[in-house]
A and B are shown apart, each in its own frame.
Chain A
Amino acid sequence: MTLTEDDAAKLLHSVLNLLQLSSAREVLDGIEESRRLGIEELLPEQKGLELKQVARTRRRPPSNVELVHIVLERLHQRLVVLPTLGTAIRTRLGAHDVLWRVDTEFVSVDRFPEARLSDLLPDSAENLMLAFAEIRKLIPPQTVERA
């Protein structure tokens, strides 16, 4: 499937709304941060003395199509990669459960709440991989982040 900028704009509007409804605040923050950081690109080939004096790269805002790919990559990291991290930790460390706790003498638990390995391993996590694979069949990955 080849997306136009208009297609991508409609898609982004819907997906960002869905993420908001899911209270995926930090995922949305990450997407916004990526938009702010923009896309690094090489300057087109040109002749001229001035061009020799400047760096050959510049930063520009991502297009809607590029932003769709960025959003999909973020969803892949959150929904596919995170559970596999959990499985890898459990297998390699031979630890059924891992807790992340802070030294309460120095750090507030409010800021760093206790977390468990099982938080990364929700029931039926394998369904996430299957559902994401369906998306990738429709829109294959594209490298947009030169950054």
Chain B
Amino acid sequence: MANNQELNELLNAINNLLNLPAAQQLLQLNSNTCERAYEAYVLSLCVEAVRRAGGTAELKGILSGANPNPVVLRGAPGSMASRNQNFAFASCALRNKRFEFHVDVEYQGTSGAPHEIDVSMCDEVHAEAVRNTNGRPKADGNKLLMAFECKFYESTPGVSLGRTFVGLISDCGALRLKAFVANLTSEKLGLYFSKSSRPQPFLGLIPTDAASEERFIRNVEQELRKWA
């Protein structure tokens, strides 16, 4: 049992944390921003995996080309071909393969239905055709190569998003890697994804847990090496 002094110490420590000016800014942050930041973080890990595999990756803006400043990422799902903003993507090369990583892009599933994919790896020739025609990328064949569902949970994770992602993936072609990535661990989600052919779970993936980052980067790197 905690005595009054211990309890007051704990309350004071929490009070000190919450009263820091930096805390005030972060506490009021819109949760959409946290979600978008988590997607950008996963994109940055994919870029790291390309480099570790011996490839190159550079950011390009759809309007400005290489090294856009500032880097503009989608704040909501949208079209890969949109020129409404200078939306950026990672243009990558590994051996003789060229491909791109995108954030928050809509793909057309094999059924014809549209799907939003948080972080995706797309064949470069296909992505260029999409940009030239103002069309929508397809999730079949060798066009969509990897798909990541990213979730920055601010409450206890349930299985509903996992279930939705499994449905989405079933409407895509054979992917090199399909993964559900989240900031929190969850036994329930772990169990759900433990069935064969389900997406690979990367739960509790955060920068303060170096082992979790390493595991994710290595998996992406290995898939890239096998493919290229």
Q: Is the CB of B155 within 8 A of A37?
A: yes
Q: What chain B residues lie within 8 Å of A82 (beta carbons)?
A: 26, 29, 34, 37
B2 touching A4, Cβ below 8 Å: yes
Instruction: Please classify how large the interface on chain A is, using the bins under 10, 10 to 19, 20 to 34, 35 or more.
Output: 35 or more
A24 to B69, CA, bound (A): 32
Residues of A within 8 A of B84 (CB): 103-105
B30 near A26: Cβ-Cβ < 8 Å: yes
CB pair A93 B28 closer than 8 Å: no
A27 vs B84: C-alpha distance when bound (angstroms)? 32
B1–A134 touching, CB < 8 Å: no
A84 to B183: give the CA distance in the assembly, Å: 12
> Do residues B157 and A131 form an inter-chain contact, with CB atoms below 8 A?
no
A114 contacts the other chain (Cβ, under 8 Å)?
A: yes
Complex contacts, B82 vs chain A, CB 8 Å? 103, 105
Interface flags, B37-50, vs A, CB<8A=1, else 0: 11011011101100
Known: A75-B17, A84-B206, A93-B43. A7 touches B71 (CB 8 A): no
Residue contact B154 to A26, C-beta cutoff 8 Å: yes
Please determine whether A101 and B74 come into contact, CB atoms closer than 8 angstroms.
Answer: yes
User: In the bound complex, do residue A18 and residue B18 qualify as a contact, i.e. CB atoms below 8 Å apart?
Assistant: yes
Q: Are A86 and B71 in contact (CB under 8 A)?
A: no
Which residues between 151 and 188 of chain B lie within 8 Å of chain A, taking CB atoms? 152-158, 183-188
Are A119 and B183 touching (Cβ within 8 A)? no
Closest to B44 in A: A92
Interface residues of A in 1-44 (CB under 8 A from B): 1-4, 7, 10-11, 14-15, 18-19, 22-24, 26-27, 29-34, 37, 40
In the complex, which of the residues B2, B13, B59, B72 contacts A135, with contact meaning CB atoms closer than 8 Å? B13
- Chain B: CB-nearest residue to A39: B156
What is the bound-complex CA distance between A23 and B157, given in angstroms? Answer: 23
A41 CB → nearest B CB, Å: 11
Contact between B158 and A147, CB atoms less than 8 A apart: yes
A50 to B17, CA, bound (A): 50
Once the chains bind, are A119 and B33 in contact (CB under 8 Å)?
Answer: yes
Q: Is the Cβ of A22 less than 8 Å from the Cβ of B18?
A: yes
Cβ-defined contact, B72 with A11, below 8 A: no
Q: When the two chains form their complex, are residues B155 and A99 in contact, meaning their CB atoms are under 8 A apart?
A: no
- The 11 sampled A-B contact pairs (Cβ below 8 Å) are A27-B27, A29-B155, A81-B206, A84-B207, A89-B37, A101-B74, A104-B84, A106-B76, A107-B76, A115-B30, A115-B32
Return the 7 tightest CB-CB contacts between A and B, nearest first. A30-B154, A92-B44, A33-B155, A100-B75, A24-B27, A122-B22, A84-B207
Instruction: Give A contacts to B, CB under 8 Å.
Output: 1-4, 7, 10-11, 14-15, 18-19, 22-24, 26-27, 29-34, 37, 40, 70, 73-75, 77-89, 91-107, 111-115, 117, 119-120, 122-125, 127-128, 131-132, 134-135, 138-139, 145-147
